[in-house]
Structures are given as structure tokens and as C-alpha cells.
Structure 1
């Protein structure tokens, strides 16, 4: 029995390594044959703490044919003041004031919709306010899009994880992609079920974006990034999920409460609100990722040291993912706690959904 259990973990490791081969990276030395106009579009709601670092990243961009449009989505903090101070008259920037949120729309989706209405670019790059990126990141994304002939490029950045709960939950985003998503199907077919996307970094070819109906097509979605990527595929266009971690970084949360609230609204929705899928994931991760350290303790105390192997293999799986996604390697030893935290947030997210309780994010409530 233990030999089979170890064998399964070896298969998991092999799968992750093979799956990663289909995840293209951004070019280290991008060369463009033409420079289309790129509109960088940033929705902001109560992002006072992120304004200065983001605007510095935007200003330092090495791509020249560009416009930056920032939407202040009815912030109640000092976002507007910080925007005016840090932009300081740079004429590449436009600041918009967001409209009231209409019934039936999710806040971020409505902000992105307003941003694209004001954009002039041939390409639309939507980025979150907590993203920071290297000067060449925009042309790197353009080069990969042109090389792949794709209409949407997206990816998950490297994560700066400060609160303890973010060390557990945030790095699992990369693990879930490399473990659960068949990336060959995601990147080389129009199969909608095999689709992943990340709203922190989404670059659309403008004409294709308009043909799918833009963000208005997913106005009520809490996981709008995945759903709009599926719309791209449904209209016959292609999506590329790329490894952008060497050029794009993000600090998603500053407090444990923010981490919990942020994951809560997306966890159950992200699996299609399926109780069967939730039960499967709870059993799967409990057996293969929460249980191994207990087996290792038993093995160490009893002298049956091969019982340590499953935990060691889960750490190697996690380490490999962290290595290729520019994450802190030592977090790999926390994989049992990371899996347990992921399950805890999934259970609570499902409970709230089944009881029709709203999710909260930045002062707004969603069902």
C-alpha cells in the first residue's frame, strides 16, 4: 500500500514537470517588428498604498508607443491624491473617475469596462494596482503574443507574500495551475474547460476583445478573468497562459484578513460552485497533501523511514513549482499547511454560497 502511495506521488511530480513544458516564458530579449499602440488600463479602488510603486513601474516602462489610463473607482481613501502627486503632469497618463456601480455588475468588471471605452490602443493591457513589473515586460508580452499569433496573453506573476496566510494561500495559485490545468489543452486548443487566466495581467488584441463583447460579456462574474478567457476561445480566438514571473511581481494582500476575504470570494466560484468538485478536492488534498507529514512523523518514530518519502515528494513537487515561478523555495516545506488552508477557505466559501450569504470585497457585497 505504501509503495503504491509513493508511486502516485512520483507520478504527480512527473506530471508537473511535463506539464510545465507547455507554459511559455516571456522573451528575455524582445524584438518587435512594429510598435502598435498599447493602452495600459488600471482599475483602482482604495489603492492608496499601491499608487506610488505602480506609477513608478508604469513610468519606467521601456515601451514608447503607449498610454496609461487609471480609473479611480469611487475610492474613499487617498487614491486620487496619490495619483495626482505621483503622475505629476506626465501626459501619457489619464485619470478617470468611476461611475456608480450598476445593478448586476461586479465592481472590477465595471471598472475595466469603463477603462476600455476610453482606450485608443491596438492592444489593451489590464493590470491590477498591486502589480509591479520590469521595464521590458510590455514588449515581452507583445513579442510572445505576435510569435504565438494569440489574441489574449495572461499569466500569474511572482508573488510577494508578507502576511502568514498569504504565504500559505497565494503560492498555491501557481501549484494549482501546474498540477490541475492541462496546459497543452489550455494553450493549444479552444477547449474552454481547460482555461486559466489572471486579471492581474491580461493583454488583449483590441479587435478580438471587442468582438467577444469585452468585459460587458462577463459583467456579473466574480472570476471574470477565467470567464472572459473562455469567451475568447468560444469566439474562435486563442489564449496563451505564460510564465511571466521573471518580469511581473505582485503583492496581493497586506493583512491576513485581506487574504481570507480575497480568496473567499473566488474559491468556490472558481470551481463552478460545484459541491461534487469541492468534495473531491477536499478528499484528494487531505489524502495526498495533508496526510503525508503525519505519516513522516510515524515513520521517524517507528524507524520505518520510507514512510517519510510521501512528505519528501510533496515538498519536491512544491519546490519545483516555486523554482520555475520565481517563488521563495523554503515555502515548499509548508505544503501540508498550504493545502489545509486552501481546503479551509474552500469549505467556508462553499458554506457561504449554499447559505446565500454575500461575499465582501473593498466595501462591496456580492452574492
Structure 2
């Protein structure tokens, strides 16, 4: 492998004025010597465009685009990523969310890991600094689900599509493999495009690596309780394949194995809940999460159950999900 291949860092932005400065400073601090950064302003109605111009002025590594009108049957973020891929020149495409932050050596470490595993896609769940109540309850559960529900060995060492996980905040593709599957056009109507495009990669015979990237990438996913609720509402039932039986099964499973043991505390039965807390502490320690968040585990899973039913009810009633000023079925 060329030791310094060109990496195209591709960032879709829609109403991200609160993230522009910190994201750009993060990218500008990268130690990797050969990258371009292309950012698309996807019809923002805030100061995103003006701030992008301000913080990239004089830096030839950056290019700022204005997004085209969203076509029928496309999801907004997916269409923005597709437009970015059309102009990118890199040997690798790194798709970042605007709320991601990178350490200076992120690209070197990521390319080395891809080379080591002969992978064509590297993704992972970042560290999640959490501030609001709902984000503390829900956002860290992503790591919990990956650690205990996904067979990592099958995810990383087989081409089985049903053992695929991905996080759209950080997805590093080898260019030719990405183009081979049709890029984001191949998942143009997906609300969980990260998982679906990773599955496309596996189905085409390309290796996908799900790595613990929490030492390199942080993601400030939601800045309010309202945004947390809306984001999870949009993704959770769709991410479960819109499967009513799966929602019912998971709700029963979490209630019996992860909520009921804490109810037993009133009876003086401590061991089940202690085991579950130690389990969660292990996850939080390995994913750079604050330790006290683990104490919220039973409330987190109760909130998740409520959210699953709410997201499912919207879908079954043909109500539209709302996200960043757009609506989706």
C-alpha cells in the first residue's frame, strides 16, 4: 500500500453552526500529510455556510460545496454523501458526521488497521460525551448493544450481512470498493444508511471491520433532549427492520434480564443487579464513558423500550419521522 494515499474527508452539514468550528479545528490538527476535506452545505438555514467560509479561508485542503435540491426517494444525508463522493479524488473516502472530533493520529491508525486486516471499510462507534439526561440514558446504549448483542467475530471475520453493524459518524472506505457497490446511491432511501451500505460491502465480498475507535473519535451526537428523542425515534424501529415481533421480543428480554433484577433489590437480592452493573461498567470503561452513567442502566433500558414502541407506533400509523426540518416515512 502507498504509505500516504490521498484521503478524502467528506462531511455533510445541515444546520450545523454549533459544530463547524470544533470539527474544522479537529480536521486541521490532523498529522496525516495527504488529505483533502470536502464539506457540503445541505440547504442549511442557519449560519453554517458563513462559518464554513470563515474557518477554511486560506486553507487549500478544504473545499466547500452548496448542496443540490433533494430528489424524490432520497434521504437527505445520503444524497449529501453521494454528492461529496462525486467530486472526491482520494484513494480512500472518510465520511464524517459534523458532530465528530478526531485525534491528530486518527488517519494513520485507521489506514494501518485497514491494511492489517485487508479491509475495504473501517467503521466503529465513537466515544460519546453526553450532557443531557436523555443522551446519558440512550446514547451509551449503542456500545452496550454492540458488546453484548453483536457477535463481533462474525461481524469482523465473515461476510455474513446479518452480523453487520456500522456508525455513520465514521466510515472509511477504500475508494474502488465504494464505487463498485454503487456508493451511497445504492442505499438512497435508507434511514439507516450506515448499516445498509456496510451490508452492501459484505454482499460484494469486501471485508468490513468494526473497530473500537473511542480513543481516536468522539461524537457529540445530540445537544438537547428533544434532538435525542427525535434521532432515536427516526432510527430505532427502522434499524430493527420494522419488525414488530423483534420489538416485542427485545422489550420482554430487557424487562426480564435487565430491569427485573433491579426490582429484586427491594427484596434484598443484590447479586443479579451487581452483576449487571459490573457488566455495564466494563463497557463504559472500554468506551471512554463516564463511570456514573452505568448506574442509569435500568432507567436507560426502560426508556429504550418506551422509545421502541413509540417509533413503531409512528411507522404502523404511517406517520412521518422528522429530522433536521425534513420528514421521512
Kindly state the Cα deviation for residue 87 of structure 1 after the two structures are TM-superposed.
1.1
Kindly state the Cα deviation for residue 310 of structure 1 after the two structures are TM-superposed.
1.0
Q: Tell me the alpha carbon deviations over residues 166-200 of structure 1, each in whole angstroms, 9 at most, x when there is no partner.
A: 00000000000011100000000000000000110
- SS of residue paired to 1:291: helix
The answer to whether 1:246 aligns with 2:215 is yes
Residue in 2 that maps onto 1:342: 304
* CA RMSD in angstroms, aligned pairs only: 0.8
Match of 1:332 among 284, 294, 312: 294
Q: Which has the larger radius of gyration?
A: 1
The answer to whether 1:237 aligns with 2:199 is no
Residue in 1 that maps onto 2:177: 208
The answer to whether 1:39 aligns with 2:26 is no
Kindly state the Cα deviation for residue 341 of structure 1 after the two structures are TM-superposed.
1.1
Residue in 2 that maps onto 1:315: 277
1-structure distance, mates of 2:322, 2:309: 16
- SS of residue paired to 1:236: coil
Taking structure 2 as the reference length, the TM-score comes to 0.99
Residues 110-149 of structure 1 mapped to structure 2, 5 A cutoff: 110-149=79-118
1-structure distance, mates of 2:305, 2:57: 45
1-structure distance, mates of 2:272, 2:326: 43
Residue in 1 that maps onto 2:165: 196
Residues 29-68 of structure 1 mapped to structure 2, 5 A cutoff: 34-68=3-37
Kindly state the Cα deviation for residue 351 of structure 1 after the two structures are TM-superposed.
0.4
2-structure distance, mates of 1:275, 1:80: 41
Which sections of structure 1, spanning at least 5 residues, go unmatched? 1-31, 300-306
Which sections of structure 2, spanning at least 5 residues, go unmatched? none
Kindly state the Cα deviation for residue 329 of structure 1 after the two structures are TM-superposed.
1.1
The answer to which of 321-330 and 225-234 deviates more is: 321-330
- SS of residue paired to 1:52: helix
2-structure distance, mates of 1:85, 1:291: 53
Kindly state the Cα deviation for residue 275 of structure 1 after the two structures are TM-superposed.
0.6
Question: 1:42, 1:70 within 8 Å by CA — same for their partners in 2?
Answer: yes
Number of matched residues?
329
Residue in 1 that maps onto 2:234: 265
Question: 1:212, 1:232 within 8 Å by CA — same for their partners in 2?
Answer: yes
2-structure distance, mates of 1:58, 1:214: 23
Q: Tell me the alpha carbon deviations over residues 228-283 of structure 1, each in whole angstroms, 9 at most, x when there is no partner.
A: 00000000111000000011111111110000000000000111011111100000
Kindly state the Cα deviation for residue 288 of structure 1 after the two structures are TM-superposed.
1.0
The answer to whether 1:171 aligns with 2:140 is yes
Question: 1:296, 1:309 within 8 Å by CA — same for their partners in 2?
Answer: no
- SS of residue paired to 2:51: helix
Kindly state the Cα deviation for residue 114 of structure 1 after the two structures are TM-superposed.
0.2
2-structure distance, mates of 1:169, 1:86: 32
Residue in 1 that maps onto 2:187: 218
Residue in 2 that maps onto 1:100: 69
Kindly state the Cα deviation for residue 33 of structure 1 after the two structures are TM-superposed.
6.1
